Chain A
């Protein structure tokens, strides 16, 4: 702003201006000779414009004097000029004076305008400053609603920049939900030119919408046109909250008063009159009317518990002495049993000399609070007792790891007394190598919002006893925050014994001859032994923590968790996969046939399943081998049976052809020998006759041999139809058959009752016939032959039959030869025979699983023994008897 020029300057200009004009005229002389006055009016105008009326008039005077002195005749003198010049000067005087006045007024007008402008500028600056200091958001808009200015609070709150807010940028901080309504209302206000008020949320820089009360006021000119709009946004969230709090406490107070748990009193100390309201009087068991009138304080104190009275009196006295306040808690008796806890507060008013005059106060029933406090104290005491008696060590530390609680178990565990531990760093009880990581762990835990967690460390965590011994522990930690300070409570358990037991278990598992894998309830492997490593080809570090399904072939894997669940539901020692072939999957992808035994193990942390796994590859292949061998054997047996059958068939056809083809020539020999001897009867030499006889005999003998062989071979091939056989019947049948051989003989038969035996009736009949035939034959030379047939019982359901004779006997040295085919111990001349009978007997007995043997001495008879399978059951009335008696 320009300042007014000083008076000196103004008058200097008024003097200088005519001088300059005069100089200019002098230089351009005689140009202005005719009118040397008018030009000076220019100086007057300049002077009065800058300096005002008086400098203008001063300049006019100077100009007229200068014009008269220099440029009007007589020159350089103040003479009276001619008429024209006088007129000129008079006109100039008038015009100059007028110009001065005009300029003066113009100048004033300009100065006023300038002052106004300055004032306006000042007031706008003030508004800016003011608006920026108010706590509200504020802004200004053109009449059309275009906001061209916001205060700093706006930018602070919204976190926007003027560029972003340019024009209609404010819409970006509105909640889209409320924006349309706000825009419509704002437009209506603009159109109607009326103030506008509305609540809507605005987005803060922190991303939160808060509710603002927006007020907009139009600034109008005299014609009622809107010049601009002023707007403010007031955060009413906070306001609403304050209102609510206020309302709440008001209500609380009201309700307390209404419920009658607060009372007031006033004590006129000078007069010792204490007046109280209804609640107070009730508390002190005084009639309300008397209390309202006022009573000596002693009356009130009577109700106070005797032991609380000294405290109350002392507090009252102190408040009175210091003109101070009073705050005590005490009990008042309601009756003999009940009492109420009161909190009393008051203030003493003193006069100017410091003498107590009156005492105002209130009492409040705090029985309930006291009760709660008591409970809290009690539970605290309990907690302390629990902590003290806990089996686990309990240690509480603050944020700086200083111990503030150290219970009895902790003392025992760490071999350190509580008073020595309190205030120490917890690190004192942590082995060196764990200290750094322990601090990190605790800090990390402190940053989480978890309240508890168990502490882990690879390979377990350890504590350090006062005597320097390390020991394994199990620990869990919890945190609480009180008054902004963190506390950590650690619960520790000495697991030395358990660790030892676990170690022993581990060693036992490790030394087991089978592969062993232990998994937890979720199927995660927790333990494997080296046999398992060997079996599955994994390193144990690869297995621990992995799922047990890793070891199950892909095709069974999906079903495996179900099997596990089934075992978990009924955990007992058993083998896995009954009836199924089980396979393990090696790391190299090879499947191994296995047998698995399952064993539930109860341990800290739940039930585990210990599986013992046996690789049965070798057994499987052995089983396979056995099966293969069996099959081969069976195959061989079949083959041999077939061969045997073939052989039997051959033998059969062989004997068939023997019976046909060998007998025919013998018949022919004998037949033709007979024909020859018939034809030549009487003509032959006696020697020739004898030859023919020998030929005939030999043929006959040959025939018998053949027949014997045929019978013998038949006994080998014949099927045994085992039935119950009555030996008595067989004996009598044989004797009948052999009747012709006994012609002319004296034979004494001693035949015992014989048991039934199991066998083929026809073949056994042949046996009996053969033995009896022999007995008859070899007793031929006895005058009285004695033939005895008997039975001896044997253990094991066997029976021995013997046939004893008093015949020729045989040399026992050759007893074994007796049963050979065509073996004979007697010469033909002594006893005829072909040596096939006993061979046949032996063959038949062998085929019955029985035995035949003989005892004898030469000339002392012989005994033949037969052992049989004894037939079961009663001989009589058995169906099979009939078959046996055929």
Chain B
């Protein structure tokens, strides 16, 4: 269980805190790795920069905000789905808007889920909690999510 990681790419620290708060109630918060922009997200996935020392296991799911500095969510998604080593990692877009073009573009790139963050906090908490439970517990991740036995 310890090896199962959720990667949360979110630049807004308020949101990070709300997400973590929502997951804390389920004791899932410690499975979450947080990066604050698209570049960091990719660094994490490719284990480079400050992440080159991390374990080999891929996250069971990547929660991507769309509007992020440097590289936005869609760019990260595109790069992941282009790379054979990363394209199996489930990606959930977690965003403030339900703009149609974002939806269309995301699904074109092969996103696994698209969640609009509700404004009302009860609904927000509920949504995040369900995502966490589903990807960490219900879903069987691809094999690349397991730590290599070195």
Residues of B within 8 A of A664 (CB): 12, 14-15, 96, 117
Let me know if A333 is at the binding interface, CB within 8 A.
Answer: no
Let me know if B104 is at the binding interface, CB within 8 A.
Answer: no
Let me know if A851 is at the binding interface, CB within 8 A.
Answer: no
Q: Are A667's CB and B99's CB within 8 A?
A: no
Q: Are A699's CB and B119's CB within 8 A?
A: yes
**A:638-681 near B, CB below 8 Å:** 656, 659-661, 663-664, 666-668, 670-675
Q: Which of B21, B98, B118 contacts A667 (CB 8 A)?
A: B118
Residues of A within 8 A of B66 (CB): 660
Residues of A within 8 A of B12 (CB): 664
Residues of B within 8 A of A703 (CB): 119-120
**Number of contacting residues on A, CB 8 A?**
20
Task: Specify the chain B residue showing the minimal Cβ separation from A677.
Answer: B121
Q: Are B95's CB and A666's CB within 8 A?
A: no
Which of B21, B96, B99 has the largest count of A CB atoms less than 10 A from its CB? B96
Q: Are B98's CB and A671's CB within 8 A?
A: no
Given A667-B117, A667-B121, A700-B119, CB of A672 within 8 Å of CB of B99: no
Let me know if A779 is at the binding interface, CB within 8 A.
Answer: no
Which of A670, A671, A674, A696 has the largest count of B CB atoms less than 10 A from its CB? A671
Let me know if B97 is at the binding interface, CB within 8 A.
Answer: yes
**A:47-82 near B, CB below 8 Å:** none
Q: How far is the CB of B99 from chain A (nearest CB, A)?
A: 6
Q: Are B67's CB and A670's CB within 8 A?
A: no
Q: How far is the CB of A545 from chain B (nearest CB, A)?
A: 83
Residues of A within 8 A of B149 (CB): none
Complex formed: what's the CA distance from A700 to B96 in Å? 14
Q: Are B18's CB and A668's CB within 8 A?
A: yes
Q: How far is the CB of A199 from chain B (nearest CB, A)?
A: 129
Q: Are B15's CB and A668's CB within 8 A?
A: yes
**B:100-143 near A, CB below 8 Å:** 117-122, 124-125
Residues of B within 8 A of A670 (CB): 119-121, 124
Complex formed: what's the CA distance from A210 to B122 in Å? 151
Q: Are B67's CB and A660's CB within 8 A?
A: yes
Q: Which of B21, B95, B118, B119 contacts A660 (CB 8 A)?
A: B95
Q: Are A660's CB and B121's CB within 8 A?
A: no
Complex formed: what's the CA distance from A675 to B121 in Å? 9
Q: Are B14's CB and A666's CB within 8 A?
A: no
Residues of B within 8 A of A663 (CB): 96-97, 117, 119
Given A664-B12, A667-B18, CB of A674 within 8 Å of CB of B98: no
Could you mark each residue 1-43 of chain B with 1 if its beta carbon is under 8 Å from any beta carbon of chain A, else 0?
0000000000010110010010000000000000000000000
Q: Are B14's CB and A672's CB within 8 A?
A: yes
Q: Are A673's CB and B120's CB within 8 A?
A: no
Task: Specify the chain B residue showing the minimal Cβ separation from A662.
Answer: B96
Q: Give the tally of cross-chain contacts (CB within 8 A).
A: 62
Given A659-B97, A659-B98, A660-B97, CB of A667 within 8 Å of CB of B67: no
Could you mark each residue 690-703 of chain A with 1 if its beta carbon is under 8 Å from any beta carbon of chain B, else 0?
00000010011011
Interface range, B side: 20 to 34
**B:29-68 near A, CB below 8 Å:** 66-67
Q: Are B121's CB and A656's CB within 8 A?
A: no
Q: Are B95's CB and A667's CB within 8 A?
A: no
Complex formed: what's the CA distance from A694 to B143 in Å? 48
Residues of B within 8 A of A667 (CB): 15, 18, 96, 117-119, 121, 124
Which of B15, B119, B124 has the largest count of A CB atoms less than 10 A from its CB? B119
Residues of B within 8 A of A659 (CB): 96-99
Residues of A within 8 A of B120 (CB): 670, 696, 699-700, 703
Q: Are A674's CB and B99's CB within 8 A?
A: no
Complex formed: what's the CA distance from A656 to B125 in Å? 24
Q: How far is the CB of A738 from chain B (nearest CB, A)?
A: 20
Which of B21, B98, B120, B121 has the largest count of A CB atoms less than 10 A from its CB? B121
Residues of B within 8 A of A673 (CB): 121
Complex formed: what's the CA distance from A672 to B18 in Å? 8
Q: How far is the CB of B18 from chain A (nearest CB, A)?
A: 4
Residues of B within 8 A of A700 (CB): 119-120
Residues of A within 8 A of B124 (CB): 667, 670-671
Which of B97, B117, B118, B122 has the largest count of A CB atoms less than 10 A from its CB? B97
Residues of A within 8 A of B118 (CB): 667
Q: Which of A661, A675, A699 contacts B21 (CB 8 A)?
A: A675
Task: Specify the chain B residue showing the minimal Cβ separation from A663.
Answer: B96
Task: Specify the chain A residue showing the minimal Cβ separation from B100.
Answer: A714
Q: How far is the CB of A122 from chain B (nearest CB, A)?
A: 156
Q: How far is the CB of A88 from chain B (nearest CB, A)?
A: 196
Task: Specify the chain A residue showing the minimal Cβ separation from B12.
Answer: A664
Complex formed: what's the CA distance from A674 to B96 in Å? 18
Q: How far is the CB of A797 from chain B (nearest CB, A)?
A: 33
Q: How far is the CB of A802 from chain B (nearest CB, A)?
A: 32
Could you mark each residue 770-783 of chain A with 1 if its beta carbon is under 8 Å from any beta carbon of chain B, else 0?
00000000000000
Residues of A within 8 A of B67 (CB): 660-661
Complex formed: what's the CA distance from A672 to B12 in Å? 14
Q: How far is the CB of A589 from chain B (nearest CB, A)?
A: 67
**A:276-317 near B, CB below 8 Å:** none
Q: How far is the CB of B142 from chain A (nearest CB, A)?
A: 31
Residues of B within 8 A of A661 (CB): 67, 96
Residues of A within 8 A of B119 (CB): 663, 666-667, 670, 699-700, 702-703
Q: How far is the CB of A728 from chain B (nearest CB, A)?
A: 27
Given A671-B124, A696-B121, A699-B119, CB of A656 within 8 Å of CB of B99: yes
Residues of A within 8 A of B14 (CB): 664, 668, 671-672
Given A663-B119, A666-B119, A667-B117, CB of A674 within 8 Å of CB of B97: no
Q: How far is the CB of A501 from chain B (nearest CB, A)?
A: 85
Complex formed: what's the CA distance from A670 to B22 in Å? 13
Q: How far is the CB of A708 from chain B (nearest CB, A)?
A: 13
**A:21-36 near B, CB below 8 Å:** none
Q: What would be 9 A-B contacts, judged by CB atoms less than 8 Å apart?
A: A661-B96, A664-B14, A664-B15, A668-B15, A671-B18, A671-B124, A671-B125, A672-B14, A700-B119
Which 9 A-B pairs give the minimum distances between C-beta atoms?
A703-B119, A659-B97, A674-B121, A670-B121, A671-B18, A671-B121, A668-B14, A663-B96, A660-B96
Chain A residues within CB distance 8 Å of chain B: 656, 659-661, 663-664, 666-668, 670-675, 696, 699-700, 702-703
Known: A667-B96, A696-B120. 8 other contacts (CB 8 A): A656-B99, A660-B96, A666-B119, A667-B118, A668-B15, A670-B121, A675-B121, A703-B119
